[in-house]
Amino acid sequence: MSSNSFFPNTEAGQIVWLTNYVLKLPLHATMCGITDQEISNTSMDVNYYIWMLQHWHPAIQRDARESTAFKLLMVSGSGTDNISHPQAALFPNPPPVPTPGMQKRIFALITRLKTSANYNESIGKNLGIIAILNTTEHPTPEFTVTVELGATGPRVRIDFNKYGHEGIWVESRTNGSDWAFLAIDTVKPYLDERSIADGNSHETREYRLRWWDKSTPHGEWSVIQKAVLGI
């Protein structure tokens, strides 16, 4: 399978790409028919996008983890001292909030820029908008697991890239039990929102993935990833 997208798959890579793009866009935009207002609008989108990925989202996730841990401690923990509840993250001077659809607008402007008669490969390389063919084979799914706060309590988030496949086949085991089918997922991320079993204070959940195409799981199993829920 292959991909030719210029936009990175990882959020860390996206931050680097967006930072370069917003810095260099004014150098080429006017020559390619992009107005000052469009540059300003795109800069608003990109700056908020970077702030959201780099600061807001990680802080909110950290707040969720701390609040869940505090709730469990207060409900079923032990100790004799009164403790203070975690304080939510503060965001001084956040950038202006654009309307939803930032990525769609950024990509639409790039499409316009590329149709300009003055656009060339040098501009594309400088802005990082030339598709790079990735011919790396992916015999097994690659994924990460993260514990986060869901609507009904802690849940496990599985982020993955399909690399051209229809989806993934997910199996899981808990606290060393037998492997069992969990889900077929065609849209990332997959969210395991199963509650911790009655009588358990915590669970160690392990996950392994295979590719799923044409209604059939196939290929070798992925590397096993694990997550711990509870205290």
Structural domains of the chain in order of their starting residue, each with its CATH number: 11-127 (no CATH), 143-230 (2.60.40.10)
Helix (H, G, I), strand (E, B), or coil: what is residue 93?
A: coil
Total residues found in the chain within this entry: 231
Q: What is the pLDDT of residues 7-51, one digit of tens each?
A: 987 888 899 999 999 999 999 999 999 999 999 999 999 999 999
pLDDT confidence bin for 134, thresholds 50/70/90:
low
Helix (H, G, I), strand (E, B), or coil: what is residue 38?
A: helix
Residue with tokens 């802690």: 154
Cβ atoms of 192 and 156 within 8 Å: the answer is: yes
Q: pLDDT at position 17, please? A: 96
pLDDT confidence bin for 1, thresholds 50/70/90:
very low
Separation between Cα atoms, residue 120 and residue 2, nearest integer Å: 25
